[in-house]
């Protein structure tokens, strides 16, 4: 499961592509069909943004909508995002994905 730069969790809507990395001029990778973002796993350019608490909240709401969380889960999701943000050191990416995984764990129990 990957979180795209556009804020959507990608499960299967990807395409194959080849990019230039420091290892190989044509390294096989994947992109997100919907927004066209291409991932660079080799050089590890994962989005590493650290937003303020307010910005993060907007991102989280947007993320919840994009990934079609149910209304009563959005609240839980936002609480979890807030909790992870309070722990201090996580990037936006880790927080959103962490909260999303946590939410699904709870649901599947």
**Which residue among 20, 26, 35, 65 contacts Zn ion (CB under 5 A)?**
35
Rg (CA), the chain: 15
* Among 29-37, 60-68, 80-88, 100-108, the segment contacting Zn ion (CB under 5 A): 29-37
If one counts every other C-beta atom within 10 angstroms of the C-beta of residue 80, the result is: 20
Give CA–CA dist 55/92, Å, rounded: 10
Among 2, 6, 38, 74, binds Zn ion (CB under 5 A): 6
CA distance 21 to 41: 9
Nearest approach in angstroms of CB 3 to Zn ion is: 9
Task: Report the nearest approach of Zn ion to the CB of residue 109 (Å).
Answer: 29
Instruction: Please say which residue, 37 or 42, places its beta carbon nearer to Zn ion.
Output: 37
Minimum distance from residue 5 beta carbon to Zn ion (Å)? 6
């Amino acid at each position: 499961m990957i979180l795209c730069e556009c804020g959507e969790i990608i499960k299967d809507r990807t395409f194959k592509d080849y990019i230039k990395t420091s290892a190989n001029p044509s390294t096989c990778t994947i992109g997100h069909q919907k927004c066209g973002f291409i991932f660079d796993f080799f050089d590890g350019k994962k989005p590493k943004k650290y937003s303020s608490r307010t910005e993060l909240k907007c991102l989280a709401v947007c993320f919840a909508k994009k990934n079609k969380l149910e209304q009563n889960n959005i609240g839980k999701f936002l609480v979890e995002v807030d909790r992870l943000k309070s722990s201090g050191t996580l990037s936006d990416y880790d927080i959103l994905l962490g909260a999303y995984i946590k939410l699904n764990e709870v649901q599947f129990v």
